Structure 1
Amino acid sequence: MSTEFNRPNLVENKATHPLYWITEQELNLENLRRGYIKKASESLPSLFNDFVSKESRLDPFVAKIFEDYLRMLSGGRKIRGLLAAVSFSISDGEPHFREEIIRSSLAYEMIHNAFLIHDDIEDNSPTRRDQDTLHVAYQKLADKLGSQDTQNLGKALALNAGDKGPAIAFLIILRSNLPDDRKLASITHLSEVISDTVSGQAIDLSHMSLDQLTRRKVYQIDVFKTAKYTFAGPLKLGSILAGASEREQQLYVKFGLPLGIAFQIYDDIAGVFGNPEELGKPTDSDLKEAKKTLLFWYAFNTGSRQQRTILQHSWGNQSLTEENLNQVREILLSTGSVDYSFNVAKALVYQAKKFIPKITDNAETRQVLEQIADFSITNYVSIKNLSHSTANHFG
C-alpha cells in the first residue's frame, strides 16, 4: 500500500508554525499522530484521577468503569482527537490552551469509545483491537462472580458503562479553563454529533432486504454514522475551541464531510478485501451483518440474475462459508463495484481538497491537510484478494 504521509518537509520556522507543538519531528500526518498520542498518553492519568477518586468511594465496580475507559483510550489510532488538535492549531488557537485542547480532544475520543461499546453489543462482536470487547469481558467477570445470567449481565454492565461516556466527555470540557462561550458551543456541537450518529446507526440497524436498499439510504448512513462523527465533527470541534468564526467552522465541515464518506467507502472495501489482522475483525462480518454499503448496493443493482441471487443469499447469512465469501468477492469485482466505489471515494477526496486553500494559505499546513484527505482512502489498512487491474487502485 502506498501512502503520501512522508513527503519532504518544506522550509518553515518551527518556532512560529502552529502545528509544531504537537510534534518536533518532520511535519507530516504520521509524526503528528505519534506526537498527539504521546501528549494524550501523558494527559490521561491526571484527566481521570479526579473521576476515579470520587467514583471509587461509591463502589469499586463503578471505579472499574473508568479503569476500562482508561484502557480503551490508551489504545487505538486517535485520529478524531488528532483532527481536533490540528484544526484548533490551524485556527490560531491560543498556545496557553494547548493542554486544555488535548484534554478536550480526549473527550471526543471518550465519546468514540462509548459508541464502540454499544456498537460491539449491537453487532455481537467478541473482540476489538485483539482484546475482548467490554461486554465479553464483563460476561467473564459476571461468571467469576457467580452470576446465573452472565450473558445478559455482561451486556447490561457494558451498556451502562457506554452510557457514562458522553457525560464524562461533557464534564471534561465544562471543567476546563476555556472561555464559557466556547464550552457551551462545544457541548452543543457534541450533542448534535451524538444525535446524528445515533440516527445513522438506527438507519443502519433497520431491517431491509438487499433489493430494498437504495443509494440514498447508503448515503444517509455514510453521512450520519461516519462522516459527521469521524471527520467533520472533530475538525469543527477544534475550530470551536479555538474561537474560530462560523465561516471558518463551516469550512472544516465542508472539508470533512466528503472525507468521512470516502473513509467509510474505503472501510467497506477493506471490510471484504482487507487483512483481518489489520481490520481487527473477520472479512465476512460485513456480509453476515448485512451492512448497507455502496459496494453491495452497486453490485446488486448491476449484477446478473444469478449474481443477485447469490448476493441475496449471502447478505445477512450467519452461516456464510469461505466459499460463499469468495463468490461474493468475485461478484463485487466482476460487476465493477469495487472500481465504482473507489472512484466515488477518490472523487470525494478531490472535492474535499478544494477547500484546503480556503482554510489556510500556509504551504506546510496545506500539505498536512492534503495528507489527512489522502488518509481517508488508505486508512492504514491494506487491501488484498483483488484482481491485478483493480489492485492498481490501492498501491
Structure 2
Amino acid sequence: MLNEALGEKAKKTLIGFVEKINPMLEKYWDDEISNSFGFNETQQQLVKKMLLHARSHNLVGGKRIRGAFVYYGYGLGEAVVDERIWKAAMAVELVHTALLMHDDFMDEDKLRRGKPTTHEYFAKGDKHYGEAMAVNVGDAVLCLGYEMLMDCGFESDRVIRAMEKLLRGITNTTYGQAYDVSLPKSGDMTEEKVMSLHKAKTAIYTYENPLFIGGILGGLGKKALSILHEYSMKGGVAFQLQDDILGIYGESEKTGKSDDSDLLQGKSTLLIIKAMEMGNSEQKSAIGDVWGNKVASALQIELAKKAIKDSGSYEYSVKVAKRLAREAVIEARKLREWDMNSNSVDFIEGVAEYMVDREV
C-alpha cells in the first residue's frame, strides 16, 4: 500500500534539495565559465557560449531526482551526511544535462523545459551545425561530470567503484537508447518490449545508477544494494510510465515540453501499444493518423488523445504504474530492517508514491 504522507514528504524534500544544490551548481558554472578554455579569443568565446548554454539548461527547472538519489543513497550507509556527497550529486546532475542534449537531438525535440534544445539553439539556419554542436556540448558536459565525481574527495577505492558504476550505467543506458531508436514505429511492439526498454533506460539511469553511486560512497553492503536494484527496476519503470502519460496529457507550461511530441515522433509507449491493442477500429484509426505523423493537425492530435483514453489504455497505464510503485515501496521497506538513516529511507520509499502522482 502506498503511503501518501511519505509521498508528500518526499515532494517537499526534493524541493528543499533543489534549493540547496542549485546555488552550488551556479557557483560551479560561474567558475567554469570564468576560466573558459581556448588558445585565442575566438576559441574562448565559443567555449564560453557552449558553457553558458549548458549552464542555462542545467539550472532551469528539473526535479534533481538523480542528484537526490545520490545524496539519500549515501545517507543509507552513513548516519551523518558528509558535505562531500554534494559534489557527487552535482556530478550526476551534470551527466544528466549532457545526456538530455543528446537525447533531444535524437528525438528531434525543439523544447526542453521551455527553452530551445541544444541542437535548435545552435542551428540558426544550419541544421547540421546545430546537431554537431549538440554532440560537442553534450560530450563536454559529460566529461565535466566525470571530472567532478573523480574530484569529490572520498576514499579513492570508493570513488573508483562509484565511477565504474556511473560509466557502466551510462554504457547500458546508451545500449537502451540504441534499442529505443531502433524500435519499429508501428505494429511489432509489445508490452514486454516496452517494459524492457524502460528497464534498460530509466530504471538503470534514473534510479539504480545514482542510488548505487551514493550507496557505494557511503559504504553500503551487497544486500542493501541488491534491495536498491529491485526497488529501481520497479520504481524506475513506474516513473517512466508516468513520464509517458505526462508526455501526452501533461500541461506544457508545467512539463516544459510539447504535449504532442511523443505522438508525432511515433514513440513506442505503453499508452500507444495498449491503445492499439485494446481500441476499436475507429480509435486505432484516429491514433494511426497521428502516430509518427509530424504534420498531423491539431484536431487530429486531440482526436488521437481522446481515442487513447476511450480505448482504456490510459487507465491501464495508470494502474500498471501504481502497481509497480507499490512493489517498489515493498522493496524500500526492507531497508528498515537495518538501522539506517530514517530520512533516507523515508525519501526512497516516498519517492515511489510521489513519482506516479506528479504533474511535472
Query: Which letter does structure 2 place at the counterpart of 1:88?
Result: Y
Query: Which letter does structure 2 place at the counterpart of 1:72?
Result: H
**Matched ranges for 1:263-278 at <5 A:** 263-278=239-254
Q: Any idea what SS the aligned residue of 2:289 has?
A: helix
1:34 corresponds, among 9, 15, 32, to 15
Q: Which runs of 5+ in 2 are unaligned?
A: none
Q: Distance in 2 between matches of 1:343 and 1:326?
A: 23
Task: Please name the residue that 1:331 is paired with.
Answer: 307
Task: Please name the residue that 2:355 is paired with.
Answer: 376
Q: Any idea what SS the aligned residue of 1:181 has?
A: helix
* Most deviating of 315-324 and 131-140: 131-140
Task: Please name the residue that 1:66 is paired with.
Answer: 51
Q: Distance in 2 between matches of 1:187 and 1:111?
A: 12
Cα deviation per residue 1:255-310 (whole Å; 9 max; x = unaligned)?
12211101111111222222121122222211101111111111111222343333
Whether contact under 8 Å (1:269, 1:295) holds in the other structure is yes
Q: Which runs of 5+ in 1 are unaligned?
A: 9-27, 141-148, 382-395
**Matched ranges for 1:239-388 at <5 A:** 239-360=215-336, 365-381=344-360
Whether contact under 8 Å (1:93, 1:242) holds in the other structure is no
Question: Which of the pair is proportionally richer in helix?
Answer: 2
Q: Any idea what SS the aligned residue of 1:211 has?
A: coil
The sequence identity of aligned pairs, in percent, is: 28
Task: Please name the residue that 2:78 is paired with.
Answer: 92
CA 1:363/1:113 → structure 2, altered by over 3 Å: closer, same or farther? Answer: closer
Q: How many angstroms does 1:106 deviate by? A: 1.0
Whether contact under 8 Å (1:47, 1:103) holds in the other structure is no
Q: Distance in 1 between matches of 2:29 and 2:129?
A: 26
Q: Distance in 1 between matches of 2:336 and 2:78?
A: 11
Give the structure, 1 or 2, with the largest relative contact order (CA under 8 Å, sep 6 or more).
Answer: 2
Whether contact under 8 Å (1:288, 1:315) holds in the other structure is yes
Whether contact under 8 Å (2:101, 2:138) holds in the other structure is yes
Q: Distance in 2 between matches of 1:119 and 1:179?
A: 33
TM-score, normalisation: structure 1:
0.82
* Most deviating of 58-67 and 100-109: 58-67
**Two-structure CA RMSD over aligned residues (Å):** 2.3
Q: How many angstroms does 1:210 deviate by? A: 2.0
Q: Any idea what SS the aligned residue of 1:360 has?
A: helix
2:64 corresponds, among 63, 78, 81, to 78
Whether contact under 8 Å (1:251, 1:358) holds in the other structure is yes
Cα deviation per residue 1:82-131 (whole Å; 9 max; x = unaligned)?
11111111221654x32x21111111111111111112212222221222
Q: Distance in 2 between matches of 1:70 and 1:255?
A: 32
Aligned residue pair count: 350
Q: How many angstroms does 1:33 deviate by? A: 2.0
* Most deviating of 289-298 and 299-308: 299-308
Query: Which letter does structure 1 place at the counterpart of 2:117?
Result: T
Task: Please name the residue that 1:129 is paired with.
Answer: 113
Q: Any idea what SS the aligned residue of 2:187 has?
A: helix
CA 1:49/1:241 → structure 2, altered by over 3 Å: closer, same or farther? Answer: farther
Query: Which letter does structure 1 place at the counterpart of 2:301?
Result: L
Q: How many angstroms does 1:192 deviate by? A: 1.5
Q: Distance in 2 between matches of 1:7 and 1:128?
A: 26
Q: Any idea what SS the aligned residue of 2:259 has?
A: coil
Q: Bigger radius of gyration, 1 or 2?
A: 1
Whether contact under 8 Å (1:233, 1:253) holds in the other structure is no
Task: Please name the residue that 1:56 is paired with.
Answer: 37
Residue 109 of structure 1 pairs with residue 88 of structure 2: no
Q: Distance in 2 between matches of 1:272 and 1:49?
A: 36
Q: Distance in 1 between matches of 2:89 and 2:160?
A: 15
Whether contact under 8 Å (1:88, 1:238) holds in the other structure is yes
Q: Distance in 1 between matches of 2:352 and 2:345?
A: 10
Whether contact under 8 Å (2:95, 2:145) holds in the other structure is yes
Cα deviation per residue 1:210-232 (whole Å; 9 max; x = unaligned)?
21112222112111121111122
